[in-house]
Amino acid sequence: MFYIIAHAEETGKMERSNVTFVVEFILLGFPDLPNIQRLLFGIFLVIYMSILIGNGLLIFITTTNPVLQTPMYFFLGNFSFLEICYTSVIIPKMLADLWTQKKTISFLACAVQTCFFFTLGVAECLLLAVMAYDRYVAICKPLYYPIIMNRRVCVQLVIASWITGIPVLIGLTYQIFSLNFCGPNKLNHIFCDAPPLLGVACGDTYQKELSVHISALLFVMIPFLLILTSYVRIITTILKLPSTSGKSKAFSTCSSHLMVVGLFYGSGSIVYLRPKSSNSGNSDKIFSLIYTTVTPVFNPMIYSLRNKDVIDALRKLLPK
């Protein structure tokens, strides 16, 4: 049953109220592709297994291989773990919907999914900024690198990335789900997210939309500007290097991170920072798939194929 009908008692008589409250949502997913739901299930199952295996391998080698016990690989291992958590909030539910065709999610489960999605997404933005800062210190201040990026600082930066946004994002989730959902309960999306939820809420949602945009600017654009600033200084320093091989090695260590940043920030910014449009539902789903599935599945490939140390570690591991 999708709605609970509220009753009001006035002057000793029970009168039916016209107010209705949504107790569960329907995630439409891919309604334009009804005949290939099982095929989509297979595709996303392969993608999810690839994310688990690829990022799991990166976590294993960065924690066990002595050559990779440096801040850069410490952050990479944490980023891979974050990718696994991030996608696990979304893909298992999507797989269940594709297989069973039930596609319903309770109001509480939707709120929990949204809160975890926000929290882990912000943690990823902040960790990407931390990784850019690490590269900045390594290339621009190499003599001070062991002092600045010591083990204690690295652990503190990772913890800060995970917990900084939690209070604000819990408050944002509460704001969204405190809205009145009294009309349609169908979300034209693959998971519970702010844009589709605000689209089906009753009444004026301007203040809540403003809160979402402010949060996106705070936790998405500020880390992005820090990343941009770091790489401007990195590129300036690299261009001053006299050795061509030195320039090539420096660019190689940074290009992998820049590719991941471009995929994640590009798709995420389009969804959360562009003006609201009535025709944005399908495009939002496509861009959401990029930063929830494409980036996590390509993350291990990008860092492995462009990193000699990671390739050597994998060569030692795989024959065993």
CATH top class, domain 3-317: mainly alpha
Tokens of 56: 């799991």
- Check whether 319 has a pLDDT greater than 70: no
Q: Hey, how many other C-beta atoms are within 10 angstroms of the C-beta on 69?
A: 12
Weakest-pLDDT range from 66-70, 219-223, 249-253: 249-253
233, 253, 229, 250: which is closest to 241 by C-alpha?
Answer: 250
Q: Which two tokens stand for residue 314?
A: 């994998």
How many other C-beta atoms are found inside a 10 Å radius of the C-beta of residue 33? 10
Q: Are 80 and 134 in contact (CB under 8 A)?
A: no
Q: What is the reported pTM? A: 0.85
As to burial, measured by CB atoms within 10 angstroms (0-12 exposed, 13-18 middle, 19+ buried), residue 27 is: buried
| Residue 305 confidence class, pLDDT cut points 50, 70, 90 | low
Residue 212 · residue 122 · CB < 8 Å? no
| Residue pLDDT, tens place only, 166-205 | 999 999 999 999 888 877 888 888 889 888 888 888 878 8
Question: From the CA atom positions of the chain, what is the Rg in Å?
Answer: 23
> What are the φ/ψ torsions at residue 141 (nearest 5 degrees)?
-135, 60
From first CA to last CA, the distance across the chain in angstroms is: 54
| Residues 18-27 pLDDT 10s | 455 678 888 8
